[in-house]
Amino acid sequence: MRDALGAVQSVLVLGGNSEIAISITERLVDRRCRTVVLAVRDPLSPITATTADTLRGRGATTVEAIAFDALASESHSDVIAQAFDRFGDFDLVISAFGVLGDQETFNNDPTAAAIAASTNFVGAVSSSLAVASRLRAQGHGVLMVITSVAGVRARADNFVYGSTKAGLDAFAQGLGDSLVDSGARVVVVRPGFVHTRMTEGMKPAPFAATSDKIADAVVAGFGKGREIIWAPPILAIVFGLLRHLPRSLWRKVSAR
């Protein structure tokens, strides 16, 4: 059960190799989370094994990896149901999977763009709905959906990614509203530029942060019961302004 100060006891991570999600989970384990289930494409991969070891080292008692393919929407209900049946209630489910992709490539390969959109949006829709139905049944729990500031305003150099996150963000907010009074909640996390494997070699945007910094902001916002968490928090103000720039100006600002 989630306690009065936002500490949880069990977490399911969809996209269990996400560095942001792992950093968040590490902090939750430090507080008192004991069960962590990592849903990943390949449960036997070395990277997942390393994550599991780290989490155990920090105090988690049950750490398991299960197979999850974001593109296989038709499997999501079963995979999620099995996880809940096997491990019991989840106090928190983090939906963290997604691909960034390269806009140049997408421009020349529309099929690749469609696959990215399916992963980031379609797969998140099917898995989130499956999670929501289990959270509703248990009468408590939080689904944390990681979107991106890239979805707040689309940009010429990553609008495929940005638009999938915009769709996901809108979906998550609506899902959250539909869960009012069910005991379950949705929290939307909007990180800015994060230094991770996903962004390696890219030029950092202003207010770029490490996944540790992002995770600190997320855990703080989560503890306070926030429904939308900007990470770092300053981005709430920055994007409050950027959102309203005239398009001609936005094109200049966002061009890098």
Partner 1 sequence: MGWGRTAPTASDLRRPTSAIELRRALPTASARGLLARGLGRSYGDAAQNSGGTVIETTDVDAFTIHESVPGSSTVLVTAEAGASIDRMLHALVPQGLFVPVTPGTRYVTVGGAIAADIHGKNHHRKGSWCEHLESLRLQLADGSVVEVGPDRDPDLFWATAGGMGLTGVILEATIRCPRIGSSRLLVDTDRAPDLDSVLELMSSGDHAYDYSVAWIDLMATGRSMGRSVLTRGRFATAEEAAPKTGRNTFAYKAGVIANTPPFIPPGLLNKLSIRAFNELWFRKAPAERRDELQTIPTFFHPLDMVGGWNRIYGPGGFLQWQFVIPFGTEAALTQIIGELSKAGCTSFLAVLKSFGEGNPAPLSFPAAGWTLALDIPTGVPGLGPLLDHLDDLVAEAGGRIYLAKDSRMRAELVGTMYPRLDEWRAVRDRVDPNRVFQSDLARRLAL
> Active-site residue numbers?
161
Helix, strand, or coil (residue 72): coil
Per the rule left: phi > 0, alpha: psi between -120 and 50, beta: everything else, 140 is: beta
Residue found under tokens 């009012």 = 180
Closest approach of Cβ 3 to partner 1, in Å? 4
Q: Is 89 in the site for partner 1 (CB under 8 A)?
A: yes
Q: How far apart are CA 66 and CA 118, in angstroms?
A: 21
| Options 41-49, 193-201, 223-231, 235-243: segment touching partner 1 (CB under 8 A) | 223-231
The size of the interface with partner 1 (CB under 8 A), counted in residues, is 22
Q: Is 139 in the site for partner 1 (CB under 8 A)?
A: yes
Closest approach of Cβ 66 to partner 1, in Å? 22
Q: How far apart are CA 24 and CA 158, in angstroms?
A: 26
Q: Is 175 in the site for partner 1 (CB under 8 A)?
A: no
Residues 6 or more apart whose Cβ sits within 8 Å of residue 248: none
| Options 5-13, 79-87, 113-121, 206-214: segment touching partner 1 (CB under 8 A) | 5-13
Which candidate, 197, 190, 242, 238, places its Cα nearest to that of 214? Answer: 190
User: Which of residues 138 and 199 has its CB atom nearest to partner 1 in the complex?
Assistant: 138
Exposed / middle / buried, residue 189 (Cβ in 10 Å: 0-12, 13-18, 19+):
buried
The pair of three-digit structure tokens given for residue 249, joined into one six-digit string: 């100006």
Residue type at 180?
Answer: V
User: Which of residues 41 and 56 has its CB atom nearest to partner 1 in the complex?
Assistant: 56
Among 57, 110, 225, 233, binds partner 1 (CB under 8 A): 225
φ and ψ of 138, to 5 deg = -85, -10
CA distances from 182 to 58, 68, 83, 134 (A): 33, 26, 21, 11
Closest approach of Cβ 216 to partner 1, in Å? 12
Which candidate, 145, 146, 147, 149, places its Cα nearest to that of 206? Answer: 149
Q: Is 133 in the site for partner 1 (CB under 8 A)?
A: no
Q: Is 140 in the site for partner 1 (CB under 8 A)?
A: yes
Closest approach of Cβ 181 to partner 1, in Å? 6
Q: Is 4 in the site for partner 1 (CB under 8 A)?
A: yes
User: Which of residues 150 and 186 has its CB atom nearest to partner 1 in the complex?
Assistant: 186
Among 85, 181, 201, 255, binds partner 1 (CB under 8 A): 181
Interface with partner 1 (CB under 8 A):
1-7, 9, 31-32, 89, 137-140, 181-184, 223-225
